[in-house]
Amino acid sequence: PPVPVLTIDGPSGSGKGTISRLVAEQLGWRLLDSGALYRAVGYAAGAEGLDLSDAEAVTRCAQSTKIRFQAPADGGDTRVIVNGHDATDELRTETAGAAASAIASIPSVRQALVDLQLGFRKSPGLVADGRDMGTVIFPDAPFKVFLTASAAERAKRRYKQLKEKGLNVTLGALQREIEARDERDASRTVAPLRPADDAVLVDTTGMPIDAVVAKVLAVVQP
């Protein structure tokens, strides 16, 4: 039988990252953070001084960029190694999010990342976190969730996250940046952010993390 996949899609700040990690731990499944791949390509393109709207140059960059996920020995956050450089901290910023969103609207860039993403589907199972996991990359996934939350709550969560990481941000500016990014992700012609027809919708506004985890786990183990 095919290796099971749980896709978790949704906008930024919906809690996808945290929920995906916790659910993967509970199930003992692998985790694919597809947003980190787009962030890594945006970062690599920026480091090469490329114009992010130059589709051909950025596509070549997406094809040649070496991206590795590395679990640190001390059990801390997974590190993202881009062309041999630990770019984890740079990739977290809203600047990196905006660069990711810009290059993610280029169809050939998305195409360049397909096989890499499919390769994460290994026994005993995969939790795939992103925008198009259930619609484009793993349309045959037996388990699909779409997480949402109000825009205000999503901005607040991201604000708290970035503050904890010591980044200097203001809530108002962050909310505007997130809304602009979501708008771009939802309105692009290729792989727009939208729930798969067979996805379970979960609105996490005001829900504690463990309640969301329980709800998502129930999709896999009813």
Site for ligand C5P, rule CB under 6 A: 12, 34-35, 38-39, 97, 100-101, 104, 130-132, 181, 185
15 is in an annotated binding site: yes
- Cα(103)–Cα(215) distance, rounded to whole angstroms? 33
Sign of CA dihedral 131, 198, 123, 137: negative
Nearer to ligand C5P, 82 or 100 (CB): 100
10 is in an annotated binding site: yes
Nearer to ligand C5P, 176 or 218 (CB): 176
CB of 42 to ligand C5P, least distance (A): 8
Q: Is residue 16 a contact partner of residue 119, using CB atoms and an 8 Å limit? A: no
- In the chain, the N- to C-terminal Cα span, in Å, equals 20
Helical spans, DSSP H, in the chain: 16-27, 34-47, 55-64, 88-92, 94-103, 107-112, 114-118, 151-164, 171-187, 209-220
7 is in an annotated binding site: no
Nearer to ligand C5P, 34 or 59 (CB): 34
What is the DSSP code (8-state) at residue 78?
A: P
CB of 131 to ligand C5P, least distance (A): 4
CB of 109 to ligand C5P, least distance (A): 9
CB of 99 to ligand C5P, least distance (A): 9
Binding site membership for ATP: which residues? 10-18
